[in-house]
Every structure is written in structure tokens, then in C-alpha cells.
A and B are shown apart, each in its own frame.
Chain A
Amino acid sequence: MLPIILLSVFGIVLLFLGFLKTRAVLLPAALLFILIALGAGFLEWNKSYLYFGDMLLINNLAILFSTIVLISAFMVVALSGDFLEDEMAQPAEYYAILLFSIVGAMMMIGYENLIMLFVGVEILSVSMYILTGSDKRNLRSNEAALKYFLMGSFATGFMLFGMALLYGAVGSFTLTDIKSYILLSHGRPSLLLYMGELLVLIGMLFKVSAAPFHFWTPDVYEGAPTLFTAFMSTVVKTAGFAALLQLLSVSFSAIYGFWWVILAAITALTLLAGNLTAVYQNSFKRMMAYSSISHAGYLLIGLAALGQQSRSALVFYSLAYSLATISAFGILLLVAKQHTTDGRPDESYSAFNGLSRNNPLLAFVLAVSMLSLAGIPLTAGFWGKFMLFSAAVDRGMVWILILAVLMSAVGIYYYFRVVIAMYFREGQAGRIRVAPFYQFILIAATALTIILGIVPGLFQNIM
């Protein structure tokens, strides 16, 4: 609860800080605010609270998901030093919107009432629409923002309709009320409930870009400024999956038999669509967009095979995915600046040619994050996949395991293309200057990825 209040206030403070002549104070202030929120979140550790008449439930799971969101946001903000130098950028507004969007993400993580979910989704989405279009001079960015906005509104409409139907069936928006309604209905709940659940699911699956609701993802991810793409692909995804987990495990676990087939089919479709299309991309950024779709597929396994270990698996996977994704985008940001075609940064694979020659550290960071995304042992990504796959097998979904393992092999192919470019190809990449703090963030993320890969139990003990 405290982080939500703090971040709302801090966002406004940041807007006022924007009036100052110097921009230098903005970045440290934003970082400090996020850290304070992070610390404040842990005040509620091991205490399970319901706030404001069953609106918000803060338990350890919610705090862990919020921590991942805050860490991702911290890293993204830390990598945003460029804005301070860019004449066109408006960092105060960007940071304020980022902080507000975290408020939305936290509402999605800890909601106990569907209204909270809706408001949270809207805050997060509207922030993202704006940030996607924040590169005003870039037509791609404008197009992406409009596309995202239209499609997103459409999805929100579905979700809202679903919530209305759920209310019609249950007479309440509270998750536990929905659960007790299902339990009391002796296995014959109103059909409106099923319809409502389905529509809410569709809305949420759109937000996490699961197939067949993923068509917006590549264009939006490619058009948005890289930094905000990093934010979108980590924070929105983590919050979205936390919300889905909450919805399915609290309210709808009693009718698992109804929805698991649907989710399993969507999982399979997402895995196929994400991985197979990613192979054909020539732009690294677009590949990362498809990779984020495929990771939504892996995360969906945890939901389709909902069980005891789904929670820890999803938390672990989200963390591993966020760390790797943000460092990958961080490197892309640096590399793409070096070569420009028609005034736009070059985001194709060839931009990475020969990176290892003059920038061994950057190449190593990117290589580790690619390995982690591909799920190679000794990286955090491997254990994330391992836990999710175990969950699937525990539910007897062997076919999904086989599909997922095959698809991760496909994944290795396209993740390695950039490794090949960095190490095998000749390129004219000069030495890239990296700010010390930027470097520190990249190293920290890489170190965490490797540490979690070697001793995953470290994290498990916290849970």
C-alpha cells in the first residue's frame, strides 16, 4: 500500500522538479524515489493485509512481483541518461509517467477487486500509449502509439464487458466472492460467469501479448523508443502475469477444468507463433518483440498448469526474463546509436557485427542475456524454464513440455544470431563510451543472472 501512495506523490513531485533549470537532478531523484518505494514495500513483508474494504491484498507474493517491477523500472530509469542530453526529450514527464505506471502495475499485482484491476490496467496502458508515442518526430513511433492505443482500447472493452458479465453472475467484483459463488453453485455456475471469465482473459492476454492477440506487439515494440520498449516488455508483462495468476488461482481454480484447455491451446499457439516468427526477423529489436511473445508463451505454461509451484516459477521466470531483456535492450540502445541509417538508429543484427573486438564487456553482457533468454544452463533463464516445465509435467502436460523444449531449441537459433554477429563477423564498431553507472547496471544484471543460474536455491529460500 505504502509504495502506491509514495509513487503517486513522487510522480507529482517529479513533475514539479521539471520546472527547475537543471535537468541533472531528475535522474537521481527518480532513482531515489523508486528505491524508497522498494524499501517501503518490504515493510509489509510477512504480513498479509487487505486494504480499504477488500480492495487491495498485499502479501509476500504481491511484494515479490512488485519488487521485480520496481527493479525493472530502476534499471530502465538508470539506463535513461540520454534523455537528459536530448533537446527534444522531456525527462520530467517521462519519469513521472513511469512512476505513475508503476502504480498501475502494483494495482494489477495486488488487486482483490476487479475494479482495481481495471483502473490499474488503464493507468499502465495509458502510460504506455503515451510513452510509445513520445518520440514525436518519428513516424514509426506515432504509428505505434496509435496502433497500440486503438487495439488496447478494444481489448480493454472486452475486459470491461467480461467484468460486467461476472458482476451479473456473482453480484460482486471481489475475487473471493467470485470464488465462493462458484463453490456454492454446486458445479453449475451461471453461464455468464464462463463468458465473463473468457472475456476478461482475452483482455488480459492481449496485454501480455499472447497469440492470437499478439499482432500489435512487433510494430509497437519496434516503433517505441528502445528504452520504453524495455519497460513495456518487462513491467507490463510481469504485472499482467501477476494479475492473471491472481485471477485464476484465487477466483477460478474451482473451474480449472473449463479454462485449462483454452489456456493450454493459447500457450501452444503463442510458443509457436513467437518462436517461429522470430527466426525470420532481420531487426534485433523486432526479434526481441517476437521473443517477448514467446516468453509470454513460457509464462503461460505456469498458468495453464496452475499448481502450487506455479507461483514461485512465475516469479522466478519473470525476474530472469526482466533482467535479461533489460540488459539486452540496454546494449541495443548503445549499439544502435553508433550507426544511423537515414537519421534513425540501426537496429538490425548487422549493427552488432564485430562488437566483441572493441567492446568485450558489452558483448559479454549481451551474450549472457541471450543465453539466459535461450535457457542455457548456469543462467537464471534455465531455472525459470526448468520450474515451469516441472509444473507442466506435474499436471501431466507432457505434450506441452515437448513443444516447449523444441521451441526453446528454435529460440537458441535466433538468440545466437546476435552472438554470431558479435563474435564472428567483422565490423567497424569503434569503442563505445559507456557511462560508469550505466556500466554498473549492466554488470549487476549480468552478475545476478549468473548467480541465480548457479544457485537458484538462494532465491527459493526467500519465497
Chain B
Amino acid sequence: MKATEIIFYVLTAITLLSASFVVTARNPVHSVLALILTFFCLTGHYVLMNAQFLAAVNIIVYAGAIMVLFLFTIMFLNLQKEDEESKTTLTKMAAVVVGGVLLVVMVAVFRAASVAPYDPATYNTRVGLVESLGMVLYKDYLLPFELASVLFLVAMVGAVMLGKREPGDRHF
């Protein structure tokens, strides 16, 4: 087993573990911390794939900015006390059955599926670098890239609209 493979498996194991901890953790702050760990591991995967630019962006945007925001929100809301919504047994059973079926199907598919292996001779090692990313983004995917700005605009307008204090609102 080569070193990269070992790193890959270790990283993947940590990713999966921390991701499941995000869901299972009782304390929301722990949950967010686990999420940050997950993002870091994903960044590791990017590096393994020789995509340094994406790795950097992932750290800055997700692990950095967004997570800080998450933490802020959670501390503001002070969700310490436990008021978990209890689900009925039927709901839990249904969820387990559906999730289990999905898992089985997925595992079966991935076992049987053949993904074309890459050919080292023709493989472009620069595929993850910022230069080729820019080429793809501003040439092939120009239209969705530009239209994604509409998406952000909508989200921004919405956030401002929903968050704006109205006359008569409670002051903090």
C-alpha cells in the first residue's frame, strides 16, 4: 500500500466518523466542531487530488467563514438545554427501514458498478489547479456561473428582507 493510499483511507475514516458525530452529538457546539473537522478532512481529499485551489477555498469559505457564523448563531440562541422533539416509534421504524434500504441499494450498486479507471498516460495532472478550473468555469460553464449570481442575489435580498427589523419589533 502506498503512502497516499494510507492517507486516503485514514482521512476517509476520520471524515465519516466526524460526519456521523455531527448528526449524533447532543451538544450543538460539539456538532459544529465535528463539522469543522469534517471540512478539514475533505480539504485533505482535495489536496490528495492535486486540487490546491479548491482546498484553499474550502478552508477559507467553509471551515473559516461559514463555521464561524454557525458558532455565532448557536451561541446566540443558547441551545444548551435539551428539548429534543421525540418521534413516535412508527416514524423511527419507517426511517430505519427507508434508510436501510437506501444503504443496501447503494452498497450493492457501488459493488457492482464499474467506474472507468483513469489512464496514467493521458491523465492531465493539472486538472485541479486554478488555471484549468478558471478555463472550465469561464468558458464551458460561463452561463451557469453567471446565473449563480442571481441565486446569490436572491439569497441576499431574502436574508435582508427577512432579517430587517420592522417598526415595533423588540430591540435587543
Given known A-B contacts A119-B147, A190-B113, A192-B109, A12 and B153 have beta carbons under 8 A apart: yes
Is the pair A127, B109 in contact by a Cβ cutoff of 8 Å? Answer: no
Is the pair B114, A130 in contact by a Cβ cutoff of 8 Å? Answer: no
- From B115, B141, B161, give the contact of A192 (CB < 8 A): B115
Complex-state Cα separation, A136 to B113, whole angstroms = 48
Given known A-B contacts A52-B143, A133-B162, A191 and B112 have beta carbons under 8 A apart: yes
The total of chain A residues at the interface (CB under 8 A) is 42
Is the pair A191, B140 in contact by a Cβ cutoff of 8 Å? Answer: no
Tell me, yes or no, whether B83 is within 8 Å of chain A by CB: no
Chain B interface main SS type: helix
Name the residue of chain A whose CB is nearest to the CB of B111.
A191
Is the pair B162, A119 in contact by a Cβ cutoff of 8 Å? Answer: no
Q: Find chain B residues with CB under 8 A from A28 CB.
A: none
Query: What number of residue pairs across chains A and B have CB atoms under 8 A from each other?
Result: 89
Complex-state Cα separation, A15 to B161, whole angstroms = 12
Segment from A89-97, A220-228, A340-348, A418-426 that makes contact with B: A89-97
Is the pair B162, A100 in contact by a Cβ cutoff of 8 Å? Answer: no
* Distance of B152 from chain A, by nearest CB (Å): 9
- From B110, B112, B157, give the contact of A96 (CB < 8 A): B157
Q: Find chain B residues with CB under 8 A from A120 CB.
A: 147
Chain A interface main SS type: helix
The total of chain B residues at the interface (CB under 8 A) is 28
Given known A-B contacts A90-B161, A129-B158, A119 and B106 have beta carbons under 8 A apart: no
- From A51, A134, A136, give the contact of B143 (CB < 8 A): A51
Name the residue of chain B whose CB is nearest to the CB of A118.
B144
Q: What per-residue 1/0 map shows which CB atoms of B106-148 lie under 8 Å from chain A?
A: 1001101111100000000000000000000001111110011
- From B113, B139, B140, B154, give the contact of A97 (CB < 8 A): B154
Tell me, yes or no, whether B150 is within 8 Å of chain A by CB: yes
Is the pair B144, A130 in contact by a Cβ cutoff of 8 Å? Answer: no
Is the pair B161, A190 in contact by a Cβ cutoff of 8 Å? Answer: no
Is the pair A97, B150 in contact by a Cβ cutoff of 8 Å? Answer: no
- From A90, A100, A129, A195, give the contact of B150 (CB < 8 A): A100
Is the pair A4, B147 in contact by a Cβ cutoff of 8 Å? Answer: yes
| 13 pairs of residues in contact across A and B, judged by CB atoms under 8 Å | A56-B143, A90-B161, A107-B147, A116-B147, A120-B147, A123-B147, A127-B154, A129-B158, A130-B157, A130-B161, A136-B162, A168-B115, A195-B105
B residues neighboring A (CB under 8 Å): 105-106, 109-110, 112-116, 139-144, 147-148, 150-151, 153-155, 157-158, 160-162, 166
Closest 4 CB pairs of A and B: A130-B158, A52-B143, A191-B113, A55-B143
A residues neighboring B (CB under 8 Å): 4, 8, 11-12, 15, 51-53, 55-56, 88, 90, 93, 96-97, 100-101, 103-104, 107, 113, 115-116, 119-120, 122-123, 126-127, 129-130, 133-134, 136, 168-169, 171, 190-192, 194-195
